[in-house]
Amino acid sequence: MSTTVTLINIFTAKPGKQQELAKTLAEGTRNFFSKQPGSLSSSVVVGGDGSKVANISQWRSSEDIAAFRSDPRFADYMKSIVELAAGESMMGRTTYSHTGGVEN
């Protein structure tokens, strides 16, 4: 099992706000989260249904996630997200993955 922690946020955008939400998540990652200690990778995935957006990130540890969430900029960022969508979050460790024919 991996020691990397994966954080998955699934958002349901308010009507007509999916693209704005995806842009806001990408900008937040580019300008803030990716610069935090322990940040390893992040992806924004736009659903084909016109409302869902996933933000999937990998971190060195759950402590690194707690640290960025305690940064005062995180609260301001989340206010902008809540204006666009409702969401839920889960954190866990990868027990299986498959990439390009290689199983881990």
Q: Tens of pLDDT along 58-69?
A: 999 999 999 999
Quick one: tokens of 36? 């935090």
Distant-in-sequence, close-in-space partners of 80: CB < 8 Å, separation ≥ 6: 24
Q: Each residue of 48-87: b (16+ CB within 10 Å) or e?
A: eeebbbbbebbbeeeebbeebeeeeebeebeeebeebbeb
pLDDT band at 3 (very low <50, low <70, confident <90, very high): confident
Distant-in-sequence, close-in-space partners of 101: CB < 8 Å, separation ≥ 6: none
**Domains in the chain, start-ordered, CATH in brackets?**
5-92 (3.30.70.100)
Q: Tens of pLDDT along 8-25?
A: 999 999 999 999 999 999
pLDDT mean across residues, the chain: 93
